Structure formats: C-alpha cells, structure tokens
Structure 1
C-alpha cells in the first residue's frame, strides 16, 4: 500500500526566541521566556553564598498569572524532606545516597540526608522578592517557592522580578554539593531560585525527589565572586578570561578583597551550572565546525591527564558528528567539568566524575554531551517523558561510540543490541511499568533506569525498523529544524516521523510507551508451498521475513500492518543486498495468524534478520528445515 498521510505542516505559526525566528508546527503554539541576571558572593570556607537576581519573565500563555513558582532544589537535602523519605522507602535506593550501617552480609541502608547536621544541609532562603518594584507575598513548601503577585501578569506582558537569597551548599549526595567523592570543592547544580515551567499542561511543580528537570528557555548573565585561588568551569561563555585563573597562560588575575570575579553569559538555555576547585586545570580544543570544547578537571595522575586529553579530542569530533546527524549544535562552547556524582547535563556544560578509564570517560562525556540535543536543545520535560530524554540520548551516544571511539566503520543494522538485551531482561523481570509513568513514581530505580535509558533507546531504533532507517535519519533532522528551542512532546516527534514516512504510528507509540505489552512472533508450520507465522503476543508489528530456499536463492518478504496505512521503503543493509524484496498484503492485528505462499521449498526462515524487532522470545524466530 502507498497511501500518504496529508501533511500536517500546513498549520504553521512563527515565533521569535532570542532574536531568532523559528517555526512551530502546532497552531497556537506558545511558550514562556526568562532572562536571568545573577550576582553571587561565595564564602567557600562556610560553603555558603549570597545571591542577587534580576529576572525578566515574559508571559505568552494567553491568560493572566496571579501566581508564579520557583524551585529551591537545595532544600531537598534536609532531614525529613521528600527526597529523604524516598530513600528510606524505595526497595533499591541509589547507592550514592545511602550508607550501610549494617554489615556486608546483612546490609542496613540509611539515607545520607537523614544524618546531615545543620552545617551540612542544603538550603535556599529568600531574603526579599519583589515584582516591578512592589513586594510580593510568598511561601516556601519543601523545594517549591510559591509567589502571590501584587498584580497579575497579563498575557503579552513582561514582569521584572528582583530576588535576594542566601544559601548553603549541602554535602555532595546527589548531583550538586560540596567536597565530592573525587575531591571537587564545589559542584553547583540547581543552585539558584529557578523559575518553574508553565505551559499548555499548567505549572510543573514537582518536588525534588531525585529525578530530573524542566524549565523555560532564556538568557543567563551570571557573575560569581570567589576566592582568587579557585578555578571555575561553567555554562556559557566566559567574558573575562584574562582576569581569572586557568583560562589564559598569561592572565593577570584581577582580585578584590582576595576574590576574583567570574563573568559568564549564555543564550537560549534553560539551566546554568558551575563548579570550582583550586586544583582544577583547563584545556580546550575546537571542532572542525568551530565549537570550542573546554575540559576542567583534577590532574590527579598521568593516566587521568592522558585520558582527559584523549577525551577532549574525541569530544570535538563528537559535536561535528552529532551536528551532521541530529542538527547543528547552536552554541559556541561546551564545557566538560569534573564534579558531581556521576554524569549530569546542563546548558552548554556537564558535570561528570573524572577518575575513570578511557572508555568510561569518553562514554559518559558522549552521553552527557548528547543531552545537548535530547534535553537542552529541545527542552524535553524529563519529569514526564524521561525516555524521550534519556533513551534518545543513549541512542545518540551509542552511535557516536561505535563510530568515533571503536572505529567500527559501517554501523551494524542494529547498533543498539545491548539496549535491546537490557530491555528483554526488564520485560521478563516482572518489574516493568508503563514508560509513560512520571519519572519519580517508578517502584524501583532498576525499572526507571531500564525504561528511560534502554527501552527509550529501543523505541528509537525500532522506529527505524518500522519506517526505514533512511526515514528515521530524515526524521531526526526535520524534528530539529521544526522544534529546536520549543519544548516538544513525544507526540510532536511522532508527527514528524509520520510526515516524513507517510506511515501512521499511533499504535506503536501508544502500545510501546503506555503499556507493558510485549512483542512475540513465531514461525509455525512450514511446507514446500506455505509458511505459517504466529503472533503469540498482544502487540502487532510489521515483519521482515528472510527466506532461503532449498536451491540456495533468497527472498525477503515484507508484511506491513493495516493500521500503518503505508509501507517502509527498501533498506540498504548489507544483509539484504542482492536479495529480491516482495511486499505482501497487510496483516490485521486482530488476526494472530498469517500465511505466506511460496513457489519453492523453503530451507531456512528468519523473522527480522536485522534484529531490530524487539521480540522478547527469539528462539522461535528462525527455523531450518
């Protein structure tokens, strides 16, 4: 069948973000915008700082706002917080966030937050908060700051907020904090009062439990006053490299009262991170496309230094590779900073742990850098669509690792086979939950990790199986062109894939995301004239069936689904070269059986030789007579 879906791109509106005109494909599309100007003064001995913020908030929602909300993430690191209780009650808490107060044989895990003393906790306390010069009424509830406005912000208006706050950096427990396990003094993530996201779904007011984030796009102008002996790595572009330590060989550090001033600017990002340590060293290199990549790390030994230098070169290649496949990286810099407790992405920067072997270091850098697309460039809501963020990032990371680090040359027909295997293990474990579940609400960390990272990656690779690899590649680039800087939803990605391929994908996205149904096809009875295929599950998929006949010839049968209302084109994989492709009539999902008539006696029948069909039971997918 070659029925084409009518193009939905006829409905186009134009918006302006950061001075750049961009197209939005949904009629009536809108989004809020923020601009932060911040000045912070750090007392590194007490791990405290005072901050001042001037914030412009543009309301484009079509309604007036009587309240606004901010996130105060450091408040989670206090005994009795929701994050503390989550650690006490989940069956497999994050090992970084608990201590074993039992024995190795009989561990008793205790929340590290529970034992924090007053000088170790994190907090963000508001000293004053005004809008357009008038005082506001506000209250703090956990990690959420609720602000009642003196006058409503009308649609189309921009309000000017001024906030002063004081904060204490918590012990390093999750992402941000002081004195990391690797000895980094300050890992400053989620460190400022951050405007909550308001969109077509309303306010996103998730308490900080441990998962990830969503925030409006905007511009950042950040000034940090810190002991002159410290070196800082941060989001954005450093405005005064000749006045601070580490960024220029002949820099004359400019200090006042023993403190240096670090000034950064960034445009069109939705989060800002920085880290600081006196022992940091800085290195940099430019990609062929002109992206300046910085590394900021602790040079603890020769092997670590060598690994970071090698990783820097590979990182420049990574940004050029991804720009070609997934859309041009739009910012001038990217900074890879040692800090935090693993790896976490932020606007034009990442915090990662750095005392790794080379493959591990490159892998985590590639993963967090890939988030520049599937998170920071699109502003995906990680609290709701975690698989769209982490899964697609894992997809990008794996392609880059195989191409750049392992130098495999031609990438296999299924480069994500390891993610498939992890998904199969999850699907058969009894711990799988629907992938549409809110990120914080999974019963286990095991379930969350495998849903978000592995099943999400499988969704992307298997989509190529359904619509064709070439169409998948076109989808990524067209999605970038239409949805960069605009907080798209998974449905927006689905619509682009449908427009590119002419295939209806409602059934696939619904079943794979919203249910835990599993795919399981089998080869039934085979005679010299007929092949029986069985759908043993409640999840229908199109099939590629490779048949080798007794005379040595081969034929590839393609069976589309009725609800696809279209067919994928022939694919140029090595395993299919020189093989005749025959398109059969579509298979009804309501019929568990399908029969293929053949003119020669089959010898070997294989369901999906490319291994991209996520069939949980592969033992019945091939048969040799």
Structure 2
C-alpha cells in the first residue's frame, strides 16, 4: 500500500524538524547495546533457531469457491462463498474466526469510532455512508444451520463438533452482500469517469482468520491502518457483471472466449506472446457498444492458487492492454492494465503495462520467481493498494509517480503475498521490505529513468530523530497516522539498505535475503524468524542493529573529538579520537585529507563500540592532516553531522 498521503506525512515531518541539538556528553551504554540476550525464546519444533521453519512447522489453509454479481445501479455486490478449511495444527478447534472487513464501514464500527476529526486516509469521521456485510444462510456442508456471532469486523462460527488436529477439514458456506463504498479507506472504492464507474473490489467476502503457533487465533479488529494476515489456499471465483463491463481480476481467466469479442480475444492472445504492449480495447472503442458482446450480463470465471486473497475490478470505461511477462523458469505470465480514457496519454497509464512487466521481471530474477499467471494494474480512486496478482493505483498518476506506485504495489507480491507476514501487527515486514526492494528496482528500470537522486542520504536522519517517534516494531494501530510513512516504509527500508551496503555487504546480504524469501514462501514468518535467518545466513551477530534500529528508536551521533600525531610528528602517523555520543552504535568510516590533498580512508567495525564510548586509533600518514571527516559519503543516519568534522567549523 502506498499513496500521496504517506509521502506527504513523511516530507512534512522532515520539514518540521530542525537541527539536532549539539551534544558533548555521551549517553551511550555498550552493555545495553551489545547485551547478549536479544531473543525472548529459544527455537521450537515449529520455528528453528536458525530462522527456518522448524521440522514440525504447520499452518492451516482455506480454499474458497465464490459466486458473485455486481449491480452497477445500486453499487452492490451479492454472492455466496464456500470455504473449505483444513486444520493442520496440533490443536482441536471448537470454533473458527472470520474477518468481515466491510464492517469497518458500518457507522458503529470501532474503525469509525477512532477516525480523527482531521483528514485521514482511512475515511472521514463525519461520513454519512453506512455499509457493512449482510449475511445469511450460513450452513455446513451437510446442510446444518450454523451458530455464529458477529463482533465488529469479526465473526465467531461455532463448529457442530470439534475439528480434530492433523489435517482434518470442514466446509461451510454463506450468502453475503454489501454496498461498495465510494471511498473504502483507500483500499477499495468507486471512481466515476465520463464513460462509467470503475469498481475496485477488495475485502469483499468473509475471510478466515489465521490460527498460528504464535497467538492462536489472530482476531485483531480491522480499523483501517493495519492491513492483512490471511491463510493460503486456492480460489475459484465466478463474477457476473453487466455485459458492457470488462472484469479484471488477480487470477487466471478461464473463459476468455465467452467474455471478449472475437477481435479482443485475438488481441488478448497476441498479448501473451508480445514483449511490447498490445491494445486489447482501445480508447476509441470504449464508447462503442460494438466493443462488448450484446448481452445483458456476462460471467467471468477465474482461478488462483497459492494465494491468501482475491480482488477484482469492473467497469464499462476500461481501456485494456497487455504484454508478456518473461519469468526465469520459462513459463510466461500476462501483464494487464485497465484504465479510463482520462488516464490515457502524456506519459501516463499507456505505460502501465510496461511498468508492470518490468517490475515483475526484475523481482523474479533478483529475488524469487513470480508465481501467478497474471499481474493486473487498475486505475482507480485508490491511491495504491495491493492484492495477489492485482494492484489498484491512482488514476491521475503519471511518469515517475506511476512507475513508483506500480513498482511498489507489485513488489508487494513478494511481501506479503509470497512471504505471508502479519501485516496487522508488523507493517514494516511488508511495507519496509518492499520499499527496500523498490529502491533497487528503480535504479535498474530503463537505465535509471526514474532513479531517485538522494544526494545526502543522511538528511533522512532528521525525520528518524523526531522526539516521541514510536519504534518501528509498533503495530500500525499503535502509531500516529502521520508516522506510518516513516516507521512502516522509510526507516526500515533505510535500515536494510544500511545493513546491505555498509554493514554486511551487498553480496552476502542479497544471498541471505533470498534465503529468507525461500524459507518463508507461502508461510507465516515473525520478526524473530527474519532476524535469525539474516544472522545465520550472513554469520553476523546483528542483535545490536535489530535492538537499536527496530526495537527501539535509538539515535546515532558519532563525533571526532581530537586529532594529534604520534610523538608530535606527522611522519609517525595521526592519532584520532572519536566518540559515540548517542545510544546507537554503527561502524565508522573516516576520511582524512593531507596537506598535499591526498585522501586516506579507514573503516572501523562496529565492534570498536562493544566496550568503549570513545575510540582512539592510528591512521598511517607521513603528512599533516588538514581535515578529518566521519561518514564522508553521508550514508549513515547521524543526527548531528556538524561534529563529524575536524577541525570544527
């Protein structure tokens, strides 16, 4: 998920922060920073101390069969869902919890109650829209009527008899319907265009909560900020919509011959073979009745496997184009884009398929092969939101903004669609990881067409040093909304780039990061699983880094205290004393300039701070030094760069 609000919060935060106050007295405590105990529990049969899933790792699964219809006169979705739930846990289950996310839009929901009076991306406290699910005919496979209780955005379903452990399963079904909100917390909604409404449909059916070995049933209410935590399974979805609509979804279209015109079907098949974007329905054709079959309704049939959610979009206003996605394993996939004529032209959505294809191909080659048959990008009034194999992005985005949001949302297919972390509790494990991989993909796209020119990366330290800023390892519900951009996206991404480029090294880091993805693909990792994997794969004890950067909001302030010469003679070398003034330790990079203009660099490992607040070392030189600088490349998040220079300004 991303949108303009998050970027605005981040940059406003940067502007609001002045210079950090100068400090000469150290508050650094090396016994705390390098305390030997970081993990609160040992490895278990379910989760190895090495960071891998344990030999007895388990997770439950949910397979969905859904038949739904869209009424574009009442803006209402109606359907029936059948859920086949498998209990692979070692526990007997007496009930099942489900998520009812549309209940967020009920006027009496907890999410509505906690909306601030000021602007929020999750809605308005004075909204007159009152939505939520209508549920009925809730029965088990044998026809037995189910007992259940709806509590805000959750449902507790009582089982007729205990569901036994070890792979036993149960099937239940229910009817559901709801009115689609025009602005659904920036995740789902309706965009009105001159050729018709665009419906972006998500969080639209009852979904099973995760039952895991960490906290059992994960029933954190949906209030807007926290995203999702869902079980993996398969989806078969039939969507009936007006025949003048085109439906796109995050799944393989099973009946293209029934829903495209003959000309569109030919172009659709051509797109599967083309590295260049192929128009399936052009802007000129959108307003022509002949560009859609002459029927009242059509049913679009989709299938998706190894996924934990399903989303779709429908409109009679869509321009549609597509191209082939090349995957390392040789199996092609299809990139599709659906957008209105208002979004077409001037370096805007006509490049969406190019961007989607490039992003998917990059991540497939760099980290892990993309698993889904399609990647669909939809222009909507959702600023940026991801679901398996489909993304909703702002219809007004163009050029670098459209690349950025497209790249980000499709990067989410790796975090959390493949690596299924708990977004409701640990937003940084998907948003931060994704922002990190986005930076690398942007550097490579089209020879750096939209490469971000950071200049002084150290300038970001101003935002990270805000007084009262919560730690990264806070839940999104537990952060000020204005801080979510910093804490879920930018600070964890900055930390991973720091770890990769300055602490571990790119080759070792990338190898370990790929292993983390491999180990936890289609599984549910926790923060400790990530930390342990990175340590075991790189061979580094990184507890000091996790503790200071993720668990706490510790600051970095390195300083040059003194420069002298051995036996007072420059020919014998320089003696440099540096201090660690704040609580966060980091490696130190020193650059010294001699009288002749020569530059000498020295990198000191973080271990110099394991038992010291200050460190004195010798720099080999035969000349006087005219300048000594800590962090000459401005890549470390030092909150007081002024004391990084000798002689002092």
TM-score > 0.5, shorter chain as reference: yes
Partners of 2:465 and 2:393 lie apart in 1 by 32
CA contact (8 A) 2:46 2:58 kept: no
Alignment match, 1:606: 629
Partners of 1:314 and 1:539 lie apart in 2 by 39
Q: In the superposition, relative to structure 1, how do residues 430 and 346 fare at CA in structure 2: closer, same or farther (>3 Å)?
A: same
Alignment match, 2:150: 140
Matches within 5 A, 1:348-497: 348-405=389-446, 407=448, 421-422=459-460, 424-442=461-479, 444-464=480-500, 465-497=502-534
The Cα offsets for residues 117-171 of structure 1, whole Å up to 9 and x where unpaired, read as xxxx322122022334233210111111111111111112111122222222223
Alignment match, 1:329: 370
CA contact (8 A) 1:13 1:24 kept: no
Matches within 5 A, 1:511-550: 511-528=548-565, 529-550=574-595
Cα drift, residue 292 of structure 1: 1.5
Cα drift, residue 590 of structure 1: 4.3
Matched, 1:125 2:134: yes
Alignment match, 1:198: 211
Matched, 1:209 2:217: no
Q: What is the DSSP-based 3-state SS (H/G/I as helix, E as strand, rest coil) of the residue aligned with 2:335?
A: strand
Partners of 1:462 and 1:599 lie apart in 2 by 27
Alignment match, 2:612: 591
Alignment match, 2:250: 235
Alignment match, 1:72: 100
Partners of 2:140 and 2:548 lie apart in 1 by 46
Q: In the superposition, relative to structure 1, how do residues 248 and 131 fare at CA in structure 2: closer, same or farther (>3 Å)?
A: farther
CA contact (8 A) 1:93 1:445 kept: no
CA contact (8 A) 2:326 2:361 kept: yes
Partners of 2:509 and 2:318 lie apart in 1 by 41
Cα drift, residue 177 of structure 1: 4.7
Q: In the superposition, relative to structure 1, how do residues 503 and 550 fare at CA in structure 2: closer, same or farther (>3 Å)?
A: farther
Alignment match, 2:355: 314
Q: What is the DSSP-based 3-state SS (H/G/I as helix, E as strand, rest coil) of the residue aligned with 1:545?
A: strand
2:68 aligned to which of 40, 56, 67: 40
Q: What is the DSSP-based 3-state SS (H/G/I as helix, E as strand, rest coil) of the residue aligned with 1:472?
A: helix
The Cα offsets for residues 258-279 of structure 1, whole Å up to 9 and x where unpaired, read as 2100111011111111111111
Partners of 2:342 and 2:107 lie apart in 1 by 34
Alignment match, 1:571: none
Partners of 2:113 and 2:445 lie apart in 1 by 43
Cα drift, residue 207 of structure 1: 1.5
Partners of 1:213 and 1:418 lie apart in 2 by 35
Higher RCO (C-alpha 8 Å, min separation 6): 2
Cα drift, residue 12 of structure 1: 11
Q: What is the DSSP-based 3-state SS (H/G/I as helix, E as strand, rest coil) of the residue aligned with 1:518?
A: coil
Q: What is the DSSP-based 3-state SS (H/G/I as helix, E as strand, rest coil) of the residue aligned with 1:322?
A: helix
Partners of 1:203 and 1:357 lie apart in 2 by 42
Partners of 2:261 and 2:381 lie apart in 1 by 20
Q: In the superposition, relative to structure 1, how do residues 248 and 613 fare at CA in structure 2: closer, same or farther (>3 Å)?
A: farther
Partners of 2:482 and 2:316 lie apart in 1 by 37
CA contact (8 A) 2:250 2:304 kept: yes
TM-score (norm 1): 0.83
Alignment match, 2:13: none
Q: Extract unaligned runs of 5+ from structure 2.
A: 1-35, 37-42, 267-289, 566-573
Q: In the superposition, relative to structure 1, how do residues 504 and 14 fare at CA in structure 2: closer, same or farther (>3 Å)?
A: closer
Cα drift, residue 240 of structure 1: 1.0
The Cα offsets for residues 521-556 of structure 1, whole Å up to 9 and x where unpaired, read as 111111133101100101112223233444554443
Partners of 1:490 and 1:292 lie apart in 2 by 33
Q: In the superposition, relative to structure 1, how do residues 291 and 611 fare at CA in structure 2: closer, same or farther (>3 Å)?
A: farther
Q: What is the DSSP-based 3-state SS (H/G/I as helix, E as strand, rest coil) of the residue aligned with 2:148?
A: strand
The Cα offsets for residues 503-531 of structure 1, whole Å up to 9 and x where unpaired, read as 10122112211211111111111113310
Query: How many corresponding residue pairs?
Result: 560
Q: Extract unaligned runs of 5+ from structure 1.
A: 6-10, 16-22, 99-110, 562-585
Cα drift, residue 350 of structure 1: 0.6
Mean Cα displacement is larger for which, 130-139 or 243-252? Answer: 243-252
Alignment match, 1:168: 179
Partners of 1:80 and 1:345 lie apart in 2 by 27
Q: In the superposition, relative to structure 1, how do residues 77 and 352 fare at CA in structure 2: closer, same or farther (>3 Å)?
A: same
CA contact (8 A) 2:103 2:152 kept: yes
Partners of 1:67 and 1:247 lie apart in 2 by 49
Cα drift, residue 95 of structure 1: 5.2
Alignment match, 2:339: 297
Partners of 2:420 and 2:343 lie apart in 1 by 37
Partners of 2:639 and 2:314 lie apart in 1 by 47
Q: What is the DSSP-based 3-state SS (H/G/I as helix, E as strand, rest coil) of the residue aligned with 2:138?
A: strand
Q: What is the DSSP-based 3-state SS (H/G/I as helix, E as strand, rest coil) of the residue aligned with 2:428?
A: helix
Mean Cα displacement is larger for which, 374-383 or 396-405? Answer: 396-405
TM-score (norm 2): 0.80
Q: What is the DSSP-based 3-state SS (H/G/I as helix, E as strand, rest coil) of the residue aligned with 1:366?
A: helix
Partners of 2:134 and 2:261 lie apart in 1 by 32
Partners of 1:545 and 1:406 lie apart in 2 by 32
Cα drift, residue 174 of structure 1: 1.5
Alignment match, 2:91: 63
Alignment match, 1:103: none
CA contact (8 A) 1:549 1:602 kept: yes
CA contact (8 A) 1:184 1:338 kept: no
CA contact (8 A) 1:471 1:501 kept: yes
Q: What is the DSSP-based 3-state SS (H/G/I as helix, E as strand, rest coil) of the residue aligned with 1:447?
A: helix
Q: In the superposition, relative to structure 1, how do residues 112 and 497 fare at CA in structure 2: closer, same or farther (>3 Å)?
A: same
CA contact (8 A) 1:59 1:154 kept: yes
The Cα offsets for residues 232-263 of structure 1, whole Å up to 9 and x where unpaired, read as 11111111112114796158999897210011
Q: What is the DSSP-based 3-state SS (H/G/I as helix, E as strand, rest coil) of the residue aligned with 2:135?
A: strand
Cα drift, residue 362 of structure 1: 1.1
